[in-house]
Structure 1
Amino acid sequence: MRRAVGGIGASAALATVAATLLLSGCVPTPAPPPVTIVATVTATPKPTPTPTPAPAPVAPPPAPAPAPDPVPNAPAPVYEPGPAVDLGARDGANGTPSLDGSGMPISYVVVSGDHFFDIAQRFDLPQQQLLRMNPQVHDFGENVYIGDVINLDWTKTG
């Protein structure tokens, strides 16, 4: 076998190299040079506000007209549609009317089976108007009798 020169054996040399490698990590590294920071302060510019356009003035809506003062117990206006017009015989109004010289009906004689409402319908008159034209008819026209004469001439009442 061979011996290493200088009296150091191979294993001892190997141990020295290993120890040097292991201990080399324990040596402190040199500190980095100090860093100098210079801060410069500059003022932040203030933003200039943008003017908001003002909305165009809107005219208020016109005030509603005041309600008229109520009139207590004022009579309702009476609407009279006009002269009677014979629309022809129908159930509840089968009689024959009396006519004037121009052919307009002026009266009607109640026959069996007639009803006041149907008579008003036949002559194209509202029942209330026919009642005003015939004050002798009672109970809102519920009771008319055979032979009663119903006035159909709106210029004459009674």
Structure 2
Amino acid sequence: MRRSPVTAVCTAAALAVLLGGCAPSETAAAPTVTVTATVTVTPTPAPEPTPTTPPPPAAAPAPAPVPNAAAPVVEPGPANDLGARDGANGTPVLDDSGMPVSYTVVAGDSFFDIAQRFDLPQQQLLRMNPQVHDFGETVYIGNVINLDWTKTG
């Protein structure tokens, strides 16, 4: 089967186009591609106003804060001797009515146990005895502890 010369040229041209990208040709220049872009400007539509509700009426300003009053110091009352115990073995000094008014620290005593023996909160006993330092941690043999709640020091 013989091909016509036109078919042979078309086939050769088609092969040249197809294979043209596979092997670089030194004589052929790179094809120039021209792209045309058309830009259309569309204006941004103006937003439509939305109906708004009126703002709520302004609330009354908050009242100024009032500081709390100082907590009252409640003194439980006179010392009540509950009897000797470990940590408070000494003998208290009593007044005419038999109420303890002072206590002298003896060996083995602790300030906490003295407060417990005389039914007084340790903080109250500390307020009644400003000469005792370190929250009652340091009491010495011979220290006189005031138990009269009407007198301090």
TM-score range relative to shorter protein: 0.5 to 0.7
Query: Which runs of structure 2 are paired with 1:1-158 in the superposition (5 Å)?
Result: 69-71=65-67, 74-158=69-153
Partner residue in 1 for 2:44: none
Deviation at 1:137, TM superposition (A): 0.2
CA distance in 2, matches of 1:70, 1:95: 49
Secondary structure, aligned partner of 1:108: strand
Structure 2 residue identity aligned to 1:112:
A
Deviation at 1:139, TM superposition (A): 0.3
Q: Unaligned stretches of 5+ in structure 2?
A: 1-64
Deviation at 1:148, TM superposition (A): 0.2
Deviation at 1:71, TM superposition (A): 1.2
Structure 2 residue identity aligned to 1:124:
D
TM-score, with length taken from structure 1: 0.55
Larger Rg belongs to: 1
TM-score, with length taken from structure 2: 0.57
Partner residue in 2 for 1:39: none
Alignment: residue pair count: 91
% identical aligned pairs: 83
Secondary structure, aligned partner of 2:72: coil
Deviation at 1:75, TM superposition (A): 2.8
CA distance in 2, matches of 1:93, 1:125: 13
CA distance in 1, matches of 2:120, 2:113: 10
* Aligned Cα root-mean-square deviation (Å): 1.8
CA distance in 2, matches of 1:92, 1:145: 12
In the TM superposition, structure 1's runs of 4+ consecutive aligned residues that sit over 6 Å from their partners are none
